[in-house]
Amino acid sequence: MRDILVNNEEYVNACRTIYKFNNDMMSLLERYNRVLNSMQSSALKDELINAKLKNISSKVMGQASAAQGALQELNSAIVKTTSKIEAADNFTFPF
Query: Which residues are CB-neighbours of 15 under 8 A, at least 6 positions away?
Result: 78
Domain assignments of the chain as residue spans, ordered by start: 8-76
Q: Is the pTM of this model over 0.75?
A: no
Mean pLDDT of the 1-27 span: 80
Per-residue pLDDT reduced to its tens digit, 24-71: 988 999 899 899 888 888 766 778 888 888 899 899 889 888 888 888
Contact in structure between 36 and 50 (CB atoms under 8 Å): no
Give me the pLDDT at residue 41, please: 80
For the cut 90, the answer to whether the pLDDT of residue 9 exceeds it is: no
Question: DSSP letter at 26?
Answer: H
Most confident residue range from 14-28, 40-54, 78-92: 14-28
Residue 59, pLDDT score: 92
| Amino acid identity at 74 | L
Q: How far is CA 3 from the centre of its chain?
A: 30
The span from the CA of 56 to the CA of 61, in Å, is 9
